[in-house]
Structure 1
Amino acid sequence: MAFTELLSSLSTNPYFGAGFGLFGIGAGAAILRKGLQGGIILFRRHLMITLEVPCRDKSYQWLLKWITIKGARKTQHLSVETNFLQNDNGQIKTSYDFIPSIGKHIFKYKGNWIQVERTREQQTLDLHMGVPWESVTLTAFGNNKQIYSDILDEARYLALEETVGKTLLYTAMGAEWRPFGHPRRRRPIGSVVLDSGVSKKIIADCNDFIQSSVWYTQRGIPYRRGYLLYGPPGCGKSSFITALAGELEYSVCLLNLSERGLTDDRLNHLLNVAPEQTIILLEDIDAAFASRETTLQQKSAYEGINRITFSGLLNCLDGVGSTEARIVFMTTNYLDRLDPALIRPGRIDLKEYIGYCTEYQLEEMFKNFFNNTDTDAGVNSVEFAQRVKSFGRPVSPAQIQGFFMKHKLSSPETVINCCKDIWEDSLNINK
């Protein structure tokens, strides 16, 4: 009886009733909130699919470009991205792309509503680029991953579409390869005139290597190829490699072995993560390392300019950890300065001398410059080549090209009569 009376008195107490009611409402709200949170988590986990793309991923820039085309036109919160486009005539124009700004955006793709969220961490920096760390997160209904595969494929296609018919140059930045400058028009292989048969020989060897991956695999031979072009400066070594990349529809990775801070581990990493279908170019390899025999006799002038060791370079080229499906080109002006271990078979599979102009090169270069204006370019080219050779002095393709550029508005006869100016022009330039 006493307990019943106590309950009755409490229930009639207005203070107790008010507190119990508030407690019940608060408890109910908390349970409801937890239930909603749990429901949202279950809904996102089982009925939604999310894709996060960090800024360090190769597809990040592709995705931003794709979002620009597909979704930015329908949102009012934008950020600008300034680009420079190079026309066929070499003129560079400025273009502005408006991409969704930091925050959340919604657009429709193939009947599916997709939320795009760009986030930027102000406290975290991309150490290689020195910019805030960013990421893009896509969220869609359902659990079909194919929608993201389609988006990434479209983004990649759009990115590649802009480089059709052009040669991409990459440079090492930190532990990654980044595009260097604007995509360049592919240089016609015929615009770089080497001695008779040399160009065809290198192109045929590269094509044979590219098409022989199965042959290498079946015989257990490492699938990589090394080339060395050597000869005096100004004879077309680097120009030919650029034209060769265009002929093979490859890109070029420029690697400077003299870069301060470049270590053996980083060099090996860069060679292993080089973009597909690229030529790795090591220019002036003699300037990075001297021959070990020379080093024993005198202290190398290049000692201490970087942190790469010679053995580290050799291991990167054909060691246990070296990558395959790789084409490496080296250039040098001084073959005798290179260590024999660097240019032995297996590291360098094909060596070609690219030297001063022969009569064949002089004739072909003359035809290239004056074929459209001279009705008898063949006869004049022979006369030009004989006239230049009669002076008995070596001349490089760079000298000939500079001479032709100076007389580009002159008649072929005038050019032939002014051959002696080739060396005088070179002397004036070098002063």
Structure 2
Amino acid sequence: MSLLHQGHLGGNRLLDPWNHGSGIMRAVLDRLNWNTSDLDITYVGSLIAIVGAAPAGWRLLRSAWHEVYSWIRQFFLASVTIPGGDPINKNLVKWLASYRPRHHRTFTGRTEVTRGDATDRAASLKKTRRAVQYAPHWDSRWFFYDGRLFLATRDNFSSSAMSDPAYDGIGGEELTISCLGRSIEPVQKLIDAAREYADRQTQYFVIIYGRDRYGMSWQPKMRKPIRRLDTVHFDDSIKQGLLEDIRKYLDPRTQRRYQSRSMPYRRGFLFYGPPGTGKTSLSTALAGEFGLDLYEVKIPSIASDADLEQMFQEIPPQCIVLLEDIDAVWIERSTRPHSPDRRSERSGGSERGGNNASNVTLSGVLNVLDGVGSQEGRIVIMTTNKPESLDPALIRPGRVDMKVFLGNISRKSAEQMFVRMFSPDEFSSGDSSRAVGQRDGGAVNMDEIRRLARDFAEAIPEDVLTPSQLQGFFQLHLDSAHDAANGIVSWVEKEVARQAEGGFEFLENGVAKRV
């Protein structure tokens, strides 16, 4: 500051900027006890000039690198681009996140969609604040695989993916996989490896697909753990015949025989029976048994035959298409010509009363099942509670190849259900047979469970109760096999009386009432 005052007192109001800056610098160096006589101020000025030019040099280098990279990518890289909404995109991103993970500093944060561990039923019922999901976010990444150098780049993030409630933060951006060389074969091998990894991750789950909120495309709606077929209780001989039929149909040799004989390669099933007998559960169990995805088609919500046709064209082969409650579309028709040919297929919105009737016609449904433009290689399952309401043209051979009746539970199935509910093998490692004995007031081995199951089955009337009713009873007695066996008689009496009287029972001030 002394230099500034000296300059001011000397009358030099217009100071030389360089002399003024050098004076300040010398003052600073004096404060730091540096000897300014040994320091050439021109070197400091040159250093300042170099530092000031560094950002411009950095921008020049970046521009040069982008030019060189574009040239290398054009002539020396083979690449494959996968759009953001494609399932392969999600498979690759998950594979990259697990393959040689590294420390990330940039993440995408969003509220977690899933409700935590599905095994913790009590925690899932609590109204708690949902967790935040952090997914690594990167623009480009170099990595080695199978002795080759690859580059993965993500860009053009889709805001519609972020607004989708089912979006889990993975697979919403366009992904490009590049490899040094002029052949895309290494990239194809990498994609196959990522898909195999994804298949291994989902081998214990069934992926259920549904149309998005706009009805524009198929999206994974939920992922359910595979349900074993022995948890769906109906006639064992029918079950084995159904399994054998599907297994034979999916055999590659069967497809070749169909094609060599100019036969359409498709298979249709009709599951019918009272409500609560497990028609939808059987469809899900079959998808898990044969490793197939399940596509759910809700015909009453489809706007037109053209939309239905577009939906079926986008469904891939080797999957199960589920048409639930197929009778609901035509149940409101006042007349129905009972003819097995196409003369009975004329049905439209004008012939059905009500404001909630579907605009899809029976002819449109039949065309997507076996029309000229219908696809092959799928398994179509239709379910209904009222088979007598179905048009004969819909269930003729070629469209429905096997009819499966799922009726009320038998005593044999009730015994199997009891054993499955209380068998120690059904519990996880943290819920072993020792824990079962603690809940049951004493050790219960398999011999004791089988004996209780026989006594339990004796109290079940033949072909009166549905499996869902019996499952509701088990939910009240999961802690004790003895309590379930002892309480079944009184429960059956009340349930049979309720069915005979109709309506439902509720509690008012501790008193059971029926309406």
Residue 155 (1) aligns with residue 194 (2): yes
Equivalent position SS for 1:169? strand
Q: How does 1:104-115 map to 2 (within 5 A)?
A: 104-110=140-146, 112-115=148-151
Aligned with residue 47 of structure 1, among 56, 59, 76: 76
1:172–1:178 contact (8 Å) kept in structure 2: yes
Structure 2 counterpart of 1:3: none
Structure 2 counterpart of 1:253: 295
Query: Separation in 1 of the partners of 2:72 and 2:485?
Result: 83
Q: How does 1:208-227 map to 2 (within 5 A)?
A: 208-211=248-251, 212-227=254-269
1:260–1:305 contact (8 Å) kept in structure 2: no
2:258–2:264 contact (8 Å) kept in structure 1: yes
Over 3 Å counting, the alpha-carbon distance change for 1:164 and 1:361 in structure 2 is same
1:88–1:185 contact (8 Å) kept in structure 2: no
2:104–2:136 contact (8 Å) kept in structure 1: no
Query: Separation in 2 of the partners of 1:194 and 1:37?
Result: 66
Q: Which has the greater radius of gyration?
A: 2
Structure 1 counterpart of 2:102: 73
Q: Which moved more, 1:396-405 or 1:418-427?
A: 418-427
TM-score, normalising length: structure 2:
0.66
> Over residues 30-53 of structure 1, what are the superposed CA-to-partner deviations in whole Å (9 max), with x where a residue is unaligned?
xxxxxx999987654332223222
Q: Which has the higher strand share?
A: 1
Aligned with residue 87 of structure 2, among 54, 58, 71: 58
Residue 100 (1) aligns with residue 151 (2): no
Over 3 Å counting, the alpha-carbon distance change for 1:46 and 1:425 in structure 2 is same
Q: Which moved more, 1:281-290 or 1:298-307?
A: 298-307
Residue 314 of structure 1: how far off its partner (Å):
0.3
TM-score, normalising length: structure 1:
0.77
Residue 428 (1) aligns with residue 488 (2): no
Residue 138 (1) aligns with residue 177 (2): yes
Over 3 Å counting, the alpha-carbon distance change for 1:189 and 1:38 in structure 2 is closer
Residue 217 of structure 1: how far off its partner (Å):
1.8
Structure 2 counterpart of 1:239: 281
Query: Separation in 1 of the partners of 2:456 and 2:66?
Result: 85
Residue 110 of structure 1: how far off its partner (Å):
4.7
Q: How does 1:14-413 map to 2 (within 5 A)?
A: 43-70=72-99, 73=102, 76-80=105-109, 84=114, 87=117, 89=119, 96=133, 98-101=135-138, 103-110=139-146, 112-120=148-156, 134-173=173-212, 174-181=215-222, 183-211=223-251, 212-261=254-303, 263-290=304-331, 294=335, 300-301=352-353, 305-370=357-422, 373=444, 375=447, 380-389=452-461, 394-408=464-478, 409=480, 411=482, 413=485
Query: Separation in 2 of the partners of 1:354 and 1:328?
Result: 17
Query: Separation in 2 of the partners of 1:172 and 1:54?
Result: 18
Structure 1: 5+ residue runs without aligned partners? 1-35
Residue 380 of structure 1: how far off its partner (Å):
4.9
Over 3 Å counting, the alpha-carbon distance change for 1:216 and 1:127 in structure 2 is farther
2:203–2:291 contact (8 Å) kept in structure 1: no
Equivalent position SS for 2:96? helix
Over 3 Å counting, the alpha-carbon distance change for 1:276 and 1:322 in structure 2 is closer
Residue 158 of structure 1: how far off its partner (Å):
2.4
Equivalent residue letter for 2:293 = S
Equivalent residue letter for 1:329 = I
Equivalent position SS for 2:399? coil
Query: Separation in 1 of the partners of 2:148 and 2:107?
Result: 22
2:453–2:485 contact (8 Å) kept in structure 1: no
Equivalent residue letter for 1:244 = L
Residue 260 of structure 1: how far off its partner (Å):
4.3
> Over residues 182-241 of structure 1, what are the superposed CA-to-partner deviations in whole Å (9 max), with x where a residue is unaligned?
x22211111111024221121111112112222222222111110001111011111122
Residue 153 of structure 1: how far off its partner (Å):
1.7
1:115–1:139 contact (8 Å) kept in structure 2: yes
Residue 113 of structure 1: how far off its partner (Å):
4.4
Equivalent residue letter for 2:320 = I
Q: Identity across aligned pairs (percent)?
A: 28
Equivalent residue letter for 1:60 = N
Residue 95 of structure 1: how far off its partner (Å):
8.0
> Over residues 121-171 of structure 1, what are the superposed CA-to-partner deviations in whole Å (9 max), with x where a residue is unaligned?
67x967996999842233443213122112212221222222122222111
Query: Separation in 2 of the partners of 1:264 and 1:199?
Result: 34
1:403–1:425 contact (8 Å) kept in structure 2: no
Structure 2: 5+ residue runs without aligned partners? 1-64, 125-129, 338-346, 425-443, 507-513
1:104–1:118 contact (8 Å) kept in structure 2: yes
Equivalent residue letter for 2:474 = F
Query: Separation in 1 of the partners of 2:143 and 2:105?
Result: 12
Over 3 Å counting, the alpha-carbon distance change for 1:77 and 1:323 in structure 2 is same
Aligned residues: 391
Equivalent position SS for 2:359? coil
